[in-house]
Amino acid sequence: MLRSRCDRSRGTAQCERSAAQYAGCDRHAAHCRQRTPRAAGDRARGTGRSAKVLPRRPSCESRHNGYARADDVGMRSMPQIIQLAADSGYDGIELRFVEGEDSLWKLAAFSATQMAETRRALIDHGLAIACVDTSCRFHSPDATQRDAEIQEAERMSDVAAELGAPGIRVFGDTIQPGADRNSTRKWIAESIRNLADRTEPKGVQVWLETHGDFVAAGETAAILRQCSSPCIGVVWDPVNSLVATGEPLGQGTALLGSAIRHVHVKDFQRCADGVQYVLTGQGAFPWQDLSTALKQLRYDGFVSFEWEKKWHPELEDATIAVPHFAKQFAKVYVNG
């Protein structure tokens, strides 16, 4: 069984960005390990999140490294996703959607009878599972609903443990009608702490993404302070924070520090309607600032490239965007 334990001293997981996630998810993400972060292609990021396949980087360590996703990845089977990641030169996969399903525990590929076969296929292709993404959110004023989200996330952590993934991704997420920020923050913190108590014995961490109404690093950090568990960390998406609040990358790493266990990246340019996502290096994202911030942080996790074609069908296909990211990110991080 490929299983990683929660690192209590550092609480960090290997950078997934170096491998592309490619499951059947909406986004194309690439993840890299921070030691020399690897680029990971965000699997078909056109819908929710599929698997992400992380591109293989020459100087990157391969342990738990990256993933990539492709536009149609969310509808692909696990064997197809694995093959795509391997063919694209990735070191890992971040799972989101497979065969159009985001509750991965429902799929045969992750059942008791087929899990060993899935693990063997990953090993044979030199791929790691950097992260297992959930769609779970803990913002509901209804405790019963929050408990249901915890139960779903726990089932996803079983899949993560079997695949050796160091963590699962969860959301906060938005303040609901009739609720306030303090109450919502409390519900999120309590839910994540409860979930982490269940996942830690399995060697799986809980990673809260900078997203929704808690997208700013300071807001996410405030939730973590109420959790105080070495098995709880952050999926830092600097583009989410930059677009929503204008938050500089250096501020994000300063506020979150070693709590950052996983990183999502993508490029964008502002337009009249808001934001348009573009190929890596063709937009306004400060890639050199990212490289500097992660190196100063001595980040040793995955960096995941997201390509949200499911929500933005006008974008280039993942087969173009994913390998492009791997090459561009390597230039910035390794040679920058």
Query: Could you read off the pLDDT of 132-181 as tens digits, one per residue?
Result: 999 999 999 999 999 999 999 999 999 999 999 999 999 999 999 999 99
* pTM of structure: 0.80
pLDDT in tens, 2-42: 222 333 233 333 333 333 333 323 333 333 333 333 433 33
Give dist(CA 104, CA 109) in Å, integer.
9
Is pLDDT of 287 > 50? Answer: yes
Q: Which helix (H) or strand (E) holds 275?
A: strand 274-278
Coil, helix or strand at residue 326 = helix
Q: What is the mean pLDDT of the chain?
A: 80
pLDDT: is 128 or 97 the higher one?
Answer: 128
Residue boundaries of the structural domains of the chain: 20-335
Q: Is the pLDDT of residue 267 over 90?
A: yes
Return the exposure string of 17-41: e unless at least 16 CB atoms fall within 10 Å of the residue's CB, then b: bbbbbbbbbbbbbbbbbbbbbbbbb
The span from the CA of 120 to the CA of 139, in Å, is 38
pLDDT digits over 83-127, tens only?
Answer: 877 887 778 888 988 888 888 899 899 999 999 999 999 999 999
10-19, 93-102, 255-264, 295-304: range with lowest mean pLDDT: 10-19
pLDDT value at 54 more than 80 = no
Predicted pLDDT at 235: 98
Residue whose token pair is 């694995």: 82
Exposure pattern of 303-330 as b/e (b: 16+ CB <10 Å)? bbbbbbbbebeebbebbebbbbbbebbb
Top pLDDT among 49 and 172 is at 172
Q: What is the DSSP string of 188-206?
A: HHHHHHHHHHHHGGGT-EE
Mean pLDDT, residues 186-190: 98
Exposed/middle/buried for residue 178 (C-beta within 10 Å: 0-12, 13-18, 19+)? exposed
pLDDT at 17: 32
CATH number among 2.170.190.11, 3.20.20.150, 3.40.630.190, 2.40.10.480, domain 20-335: 3.20.20.150
- What integer pLDDT is reported at residue 158 of this predicted model? 96
